[in-house]
Amino acid sequence: MELRSLRYFVEVVKQKSFTAAASKMFVTQPTISKMVKSLEDEIGSPLLLRESRHMVLTDAGRIVYQRGLDVLAAYSQLEAELHDLGKLGRGTLTIGIPAMGGSLFTPAIAAFKKHYPKIDLKLFERGSKAIEAALIDGEMELGGVLLPVDLATFDVLPVSRQVLWLVAPKGSRWDAATEVPLADLAKESFVFYGESLSLSEIVLGACNEAGFTPSIVSRSGHWDFMAALVQAGVGIALLPAPYCRRLDVNAFTCRCVVNPEIHWDMAVGWRRNGYLSNAARAWLEVVRRTIPANLGDDFLQAPPERFPKRGANTPPK
C-alpha cells in the first residue's frame, strides 16, 4: 500500500471533498481521484460512496481511514525520531496556538526564536478542539489546549489559570457592582466565542448551570474584536481577566463573574506516550521559563494609564 495514496484518502475524508483535499495537498483533483481509485483497486473494495452531494464511507473505508490515521501518525513519529538524531539547532517544530491564547504564548515564541534561530518554528492558529485533533493525527508535536482534556490521550503542562469577567459598555447597570452572578446576565445579548472553540462549550455549560441559555448575537475567536463589538453596543461579552485589564476603563465596565466562576485554563499539550523531539523538549523548557510560574499571574503588561495590575479575581474599580 503506497503511503501517498493513504495520505490523500485520509485528507479527502477529513475535508469531505476531493476539491478541498487537492487544495490542501497542493495537487490537482484528478491526481487525488486517481490515487484514491488506486487504493480502492489495491484493497479490492470501494472506500467512498457519493450520495447526492455527500460522501459516505463504506465499512472498508471506515477501517482504512481509522487505521490510516494510525499509520500516518506513526510515520510522522518515525520521521521525527530519525531527524532528531542530529544535534539540536536545526529542524522544524510545528505548534498549534489557540485563537484566544496568542498573547499568552508570545513571550515563549520570541524567546525560542532567539535561542534556537535555526529551528523552523511553524505556528498555526486554531481552536483548542482542532489542535487536539491535529496532535492525535501527528500534524503537530505540541499545541495550546484548553483544560480539561482527556488525560488518557494527552500529557499537559499547565501554563495559565484565569477567570472570565463580564465586559460591558461604561455606564451599564454593573458600574457599581464588585462582582456579577452569571444568572444576572440571562436576558442580555452575548458576543460569544466561535463554535469551534472549546471555551464556547465551557461558557454554554456554565450558563446552563445558572439556569439559562444565552442569546448569542455574534461570535468571534479574537478578544479585541469581541470588545469592540461590546463598545459598539452589540452585546456583552465574557473575557479572560488579563484581556479585561487591557481595556480602557473610561469605555468599559469589567467585573468578575461568579455563581459559577468560569475558568480559562490553558496548557501546552502533546500526545500521551508520543515521541517528543529535542526541539519540542526545548520548547517546553522555554515555556516553563517565560510564562509566569504562578498560574494566576497576569500574562499581559497593562499600560500604567489603564488597568493597574490586580489579583486574578479582583475587578477594576
* Same domain membership, residue 62 and residue 100: no
Q: What is the average per-residue pLDDT within 208-224?
A: 95
* Same domain membership, residue 277 and residue 251: no
Q: Which of 59-73, 75-89, 158-172, 276-290 has the highest mean pLDDT?
A: 158-172
Question: How many domains are there within the chain?
Answer: 3
Confirm whether 42 is domain-assigned. yes
DSSP, res 48: E
Cα–Cα distance for residue pair 214/203, rounded to 1 Å? 9
pLDDT, mean over the chain: 87
Q: What is the average per-residue pLDDT within 256-275?
A: 93
* Same domain membership, residue 117 and residue 56: no
* Same domain membership, residue 102 and residue 29: no
Q: Is the pLDDT of residue 176 over 50?
A: yes
Does the pTM surpass 0.75? The reply is no
Q: What is the average per-residue pLDDT within 236-242?
A: 96
What confidence category does residue 310 fall into, taking pLDDT thresholds of 50, 70 and 90?
A: very low
* Same domain membership, residue 139 and residue 215: no
Q: How far is CA 248 from CA 56, 227, 252, in A?
A: 51, 10, 6
* Same domain membership, residue 242 and residue 176: yes
pLDDT in tens, 101-149: 888 999 999 999 998 988 889 999 998 999 999 999 888 999 999 999 9
Say if residues 145 and 208 touch (Cβ distance below 8 Å): no
* Same domain membership, residue 115 and residue 56: no
Nearest to 221 by CA among 127, 104, 105: 127
* Same domain membership, residue 33 and residue 154: no
Residue 86 is predicted with a pLDDT of 56
Residue 152 belongs to domain with CATH number: 3.40.190.10
- In which domain, by residue range, is 69 found? 3-75
What confidence category does residue 275 fall into, taking pLDDT thresholds of 50, 70 and 90?
A: confident
* Same domain membership, residue 242 and residue 278: no
Q: Is the pLDDT of residue 88 over 80?
A: no
Say if residues 43 and 49 touch (Cβ distance below 8 Å): no
**Per-residue b or e along 17-29, where b marks 16 or more CB atoms closer than 10 Å to that residue's CB:** bbeebbeebebee
Residue 64 belongs to domain with CATH number: 1.10.10.10
Confirm whether 191 is domain-assigned. yes
Residue 17 is predicted with a pLDDT of 87
